Structure 1
Amino acid sequence: MIQNSYRKCRSFYQKFRFYCKVNWIKTLYFNFKKFPFETAKKLPVYFYGRVKFTSIKGDIQIEGNIQKGMIGFGQPYELNSAHKGIAEIFILGKLTFKGKFQFGKDCFVFVGEKASCELGNMASMGSNGKIICTEKIVLGDYARFGSEAQIIDTNFHDLIDTQTGEKLQKSAPIFIGNYNFVSNRVSIMKGTQTPNFCTIASNSLCTKDYKSLGEHILIGGIPAKLIRNNISRDWEGEKEQLDDFLTI
């Protein structure tokens, strides 16, 4: 009886601590501003810590079964526990969540006016990450990015061939496959495409289509190249743990 009471008290305390981390003002404002009432009342998007809404006038959609807290922005799922308070959302175009998604602390998300960004089920972006979408970015299911990673589909500035005067392509779509494990400080630049079950080493720079290398590969370097075949994160072994740990 004493043990049962202790468990209940401990569970209540943990839930209380968790809900104290939620930024309820931003959470309520965002959900009821962007979604129909029947969706908004379920509070599918939670914000944790300080976050700036530079703009949320774009089209934001959630596909699949709507659940409470299925999308967390600033979600405390990593080892670090402190927010710097620099998280920012700037959505002018279309942002689609294909299911559950977790942003770590202090992320920056920009979707341009005519751009489309699709984020796969159980994909994630670690703390201090950046998503800058001016044309198209698609992350597959379980495409999980480590801290300080960035996904940018543009050069930002026009570049020219100084001999011919030809203007070079400024942006190109990015497609990240399912079950991609991307380590910390990886830069995914315009035109990058990865196969399913791709692992990307820390501090790598990805700039091209890697799908011809096949699945279950490890790439890395500046620029990234094939390091090893027949390697993958143990997704089946971790799936249950990920679902339990990252679902509210």
Structure 2
Amino acid sequence: MFYVGFGQVGIFDKTYERTVLQINGVVELDGKVYLGQGCRLSVANNAVVHFGKSFVNTAAMTLVCSNSVFFGEDCTVAWNTLIMDTDWHQTIDVVNNKVKPCSKPIHVGCRTWIGTRAIVLKGAHIPDGCIIGAGAIITQKFDKENACIVGNPARIAKENITMQRKN
């Protein structure tokens, strides 16, 4: 059910691209999960990462969870991606002394594709069927399904589009 370090991605050298698993919290699996070579998965105490069935990461994904990260079914995550639900440091509004949380849950819907070098940060919500463009930085909640989300700041570039999947 949980395949780690699988595959042969030509541009990654298995000698130097090490996989690191640091799991102190909970990892939930709804089905087969494939984490490619050079993956780094860190799940803190009391944190939960949920992988829906048929999750695939090509290679070198870094996933840091101190709160909650949820992936729906049939998600594809390309190489050199960063998914992190925390920035590890609380901030304070100096006008009203309100402390802002350093972590917020991440939700990635079903049938999503996160492109290479994309960054998904705390509080992000990606609806079902979305494509996250290469290098995009997702820091907010999106509501539109089957959209192509690109850039920094992230924006919807195209609607009514999704990744074609093989049977």
The TM-score normalised by the length of structure 2 is 0.94
Preserved CA contact (<8 Å) 1:126 1:149: no
Q: Return structure 1 stretches of 4+ with deviation > 3 angstroms.
A: 77-81
Cα distance, 1:223 vs structure 2? 1.8
Deviation at 1:85? 4.2
Partner of 2:157: 227
CA distance in structure 1 between the aligned counterparts of 2:160 and 2:111, rounded to whole angstroms: 14
CA apart distance, 1:110 = 0.7
More strand by share: 2
Confirm or deny that 1:120 pairs with 2:34. Answer: no
The percentage of aligned residue pairs carrying the same residue is 22
Rounded to whole Å, the distance in 1 between the matches of 2:28 and 2:35 is 14
Which one-letter code corresponds to 1:189 in the other structure? L
| Contact preservation (8 Å) 1:181, 1:200 | yes
Unaligned runs of 5+ in 1: 1-69, 241-248
CA–CA distance in 2 between the matches of 1:140 and 1:224?
Answer: 21
Q: 2:63 corresponds to which residue?
A: 131
Please report how far the alpha carbon of residue 121 of structure 1 lies from its aligned counterpart in structure 2 after TM superposition: 0.9
Equivalent residue, structure 2, for 1:102: 34
Aligned partners of 2:25, 2:163: CA distance in 1, in Å? 33
Partner of 1:172: 104
Alignment partners' CA distance in 2, 1:79 and 1:207? 31
Higher-Rg structure is 1
The separation in 1 between residues aligned to 2:35 and 2:149, in whole angstroms, is 24
Q: Which runs of 5+ in 2 are unaligned?
A: none
Q: CA RMSD in A?
A: 1.3
Deviation at 1:78, TM superposition (A): 3.2
> What is the SS of the residue equivalent to 1:74?
strand
Counterpart amino acid of 1:154?
T
Per mean C-alpha deviation after superposition, the further-off stretch among 221-230 and 156-165 is: 156-165
Conserved? CA contact 1:153–1:174, under 8 Å: yes
Cα 1:85–1:232 change in 2 (3 A) is closer
Higher relative contact order (CA 8 A, sep 6+): 2
- The structure where helix makes up a greater share of residues is 1
Alignment of 1:46-195 (within 5 A): 70-80=1-11, 82-83=13-14, 84-195=16-127
Deviation, 1:116, is 0.8
Cα deviation for residue 82 of structure 1 reads 2.3
Give the TM-score taking structure 1 as reference length: 0.64
Equivalent residues, number: 166
